[in-house]
A and B are shown apart, each in its own frame.
Chain A
């Protein structure tokens, strides 16, 4: 089980890192989203993964660790707001600079 989780986290990180290294802003946004999924799951799994034991007092006998959950909940909302911000930034850059390349200009523009 632990192996499955670890591999999933690795895949999310790898795909995220690969995508943020791409040249177009939209790919970078996709990569950031994948990366934040990875990070959120990683933080979450630091509290160990247990099934059917939510941290609601009185509902079950053994509680899972609520602290990583609280941290991740804020992380989700923050990464959402950052995603929205980056999307609009990319949009603004694409319009103002007439290119959605991360450097703001098409590398081949001069040759065309």
Chain B
């Protein structure tokens, strides 16, 4: 568990920092922030040190907690030699960075934000190195990209910072996507995302067909993160971040994540030709590009950034070689590099703050004013150059001796040694330059602050500690290696190997020669820098940022044009896309399917049905043909509706026929009302191409439905209705099975449905509330036939018809449980009867005579239905269980009293209320009073 604690402690620390930030900033608030921020990393470091004995016994501590086992995602942590080495570097250097930042940010309000982000970053980084689950690791991986984005853009008022931040996010985030793909593939190959399982499945992975793709994707993620060419572009621009960030994220830790990943997966995926060529070549190119460009940088941080790239390339090259000894050299150099690069960055920050400049053409001769800084910096600079007795000397010699051991492939045997010697030469040159230029080389030129501002001595403490550590490693390499690095190397090769023998290294002739060449060449190169810089200035100036911005702009333009094509604001086009998306897969899957004709024999053709079907089809086609003439189209539509009703009646569905009939009346009335406010014709505006496209889509959709229907109808029916038919009378107490299903078996559906009806009605009410039609629609309601709005005969007949209609609806309602009818139909009949009154007598006349408003009616209906359901709950049955008994009513006969009847009453009330609310509010628009008065 405490391994998990290790990862999440810094988050707690970040929260503590956040809280400490709430306190009003005082004169020493940075000090307070720094102390608060130091707690969690310090505890982590102590915890890690306490683990060392167990790690040294060769143990791999794994702690896991299942999270989403279905997709192999778990909260699992792993602490072995490799992750211990990384975690210790992360927390150790992190602590020193916080100390450094306490001085760097002194007197700045942004300090609090920095301490929060740096601890979040620490969590992310520890998560990467300690995760046992690859998917889980990926989450932390992306988190480092995000936090890095925030830290590079720390001073967001600067355009450079914003652009640098975006660039790093795009490149590392893009690499993260590739890595996700790679890890998913790896997980599929292995069948598990646990690192333990992956490491145990080497043969499966390497022999799989997907191995090249998987490896390429994973390496893409690693290369982008670790700034390998050509993805190194983001790192120099990340230097816009505050210097503590550069020292920590962009030299010592985050950029090493890619190297960590390669080292971690090396036992599982390494030692193949592909591994060798991909990684080695990338490493070689990066090593050379970084070293060469660093030579010509004038900005201290720029030089350090490119030198970091170069060193990352070096380590990558060693990992690519893949032998145990190369891996030992890689991890040794990784540690050495972290120890010398972080203090050099810190030095750059101090010089920057003291003099106000980072340009080495101006900063010279600082040894007079900053002797202590000069002395401390001498150690890491010498280590970077690889001078004898320094840690960098050893790691460079390890590299040289490994490069001589490469035997295959053919091209590499001589190229690699020469290549690394030349790169070593460059690195000597730029190391000499940064030290000599800054601290010697004559007098300073035009510095913003001169004499330099004094920086507190405490700022030198972290430099001193790191420089001492670097020195110590150089003086006692064997002890360092044996204590920590050897364990990490074992984790990357999964074998017990002999300890690296440094005494052998010092005896070797070849590496010593190469070091000598590099050192002398580097010094010569530095001395000849004047003419070389002049030549370099002649070279075309390629600014990576401009290229990147161009690519960004182009991809944005491409995305925009694509979006415009897909999403141009035309709803017709969207709908066509949706239809195509529905039709195309069906067309693709079903082309060539021949089983449309089922086994059942076709039934005899009934002339009546054919006649009805022909009229139905003709009227539907008529609607489509004449839709420009809206009123005729609407009339034809009502014909269609009527024949649909007849179809229901013909095929044994009296309930449906009754419902459809009354709905049809209401729907046509509503559409007519609406039409009186809308233009009477639709313009002919579709071009021939559009019409052809729509005809094709419509034809395909219709053909598809027809084929499906035919295929189903010619096959024997399998139904689940047997249960309903059998239980309708004994269970539901009614003989009309359709109604019993509605109010009993599937009562919950019906409750939902009347709720929808109510909501639609209330929505209509809300929409029409503030609608001012008379003023706004010019072409609407041109007073055609408005002269005599309420014919007398209609008034008289409708008034007489009302009681009869209501009686019929009551009859339909009551018998509904046993015979066709029920709440829906009765409600619609009542609504139709009342609508007739509105049409005949006018809105005001009818409204005055209504006993109740409509919205309360909807609410009451829903309440009755719900209460009925809850009633059965109260007496201990499931929601909406019905109870019933039969009783004899004089004259009417046997009558059944069921709670379902009460439920149906709720349905009835809601239907009446909702329908009338819709109609009355649409009708209201026609009145002179307009929307002034609320209806319903």
Chain A interface (Cβ within 8 Å of chain B)?
1-27, 29-30, 33-34, 37-38, 40-42, 44-59, 63-67, 69-70, 72-74, 76-78, 80-85, 87-92, 94-96, 98, 100, 102-103, 107-108
Contact = CB atoms under 8 A, between A and B. Distances in A.
> Sorted from nearest, which 3 A-B pairs have the closest CB atoms?
A14-B702, A10-B706, A81-B760
Q: Among the interface residues A23, A98, A108, which one has the most CB atoms of the partner chain B within 10 A?
A: A23
A106 to B, nearest CB: 9
A103 B571 contact: yes
A48 to B, nearest CB: 5
A73 B742 contact: yes
Interface stretch (B162-170, B550-558, B617-625): B617-625
Given A34-B640, A78-B757, 19 more contacts: A1-B602, A6-B710, A7-B617, A8-B616, A10-B703, A14-B701, A21-B576, A24-B682, A37-B640, A45-B709, A55-B725, A67-B724, A84-B764, A88-B922, A92-B767, A92-B771, A95-B772, A103-B570, A108-B685
B820 A56 contact: yes
A92 B709 CA distance: 38
B667 A33 contact: yes
A91 B674 contact: yes
Interface string B743-778: 000100110010011001101100110011100110
Interface in B620-642: 620-621, 623-624, 627, 630, 633-634, 637, 640-641
Contacts of B623: 15, 19, 30, 34
B737 interface: yes
Do most interface residues of chain B lie in helix, strand or loop, or is the interface mixed? Answer: helix
Given A2-B713, A44-B648, A55-B725, A74 B753 contact: yes
B820 A98 contact: no
B675 A82 contact: no
A46 to B, nearest CB: 6
Interface of B: 569-572, 575-576, 579, 602-606, 609-610, 613, 616-617, 620-621, 623-624, 627, 630, 633-634, 637, 640-641, 644, 647-648, 650-656, 659-660, 663, 666-667, 670-671, 674-675, 677-679, 682-683, 685-686, 694-695, 697-699, 701-710, 712-714, 717, 719-721, 724-725, 728-729, 735-738, 741-742, 746, 749-750, 753, 756-757, 760-761, 763-764, 767-768, 771-773, 776-777, 818-820, 824, 911, 914, 918, 921-922, 925
A2 B750 CA distance: 31
Given A21-B572, A70-B741, A95-B677, A64 B603 contact: no
15 contacts: A3-B710, A13-B704, A22-B572, A34-B624, A47-B719, A48-B717, A55-B736, A56-B736, A56-B737, A57-B728, A74-B749, A77-B659, A78-B757, A94-B678, A108-B685
A30 B606 CA distance: 29
B717 A47 contact: yes
Contacts of B756: 78, 81
Contact of A84 (B575, B652, B760, B824): B760
A74 B188 CA distance: 46
Contact of A11 (B604, B620, B764): B620
Contact of A37 (B644, B666, B761): B644
Give the residue among A10, A24, A48, A52 with the most B Cβ atoms within 10 A.
A10
Given A34-B637, A56-B820, A63-B737, A1 B606 contact: yes
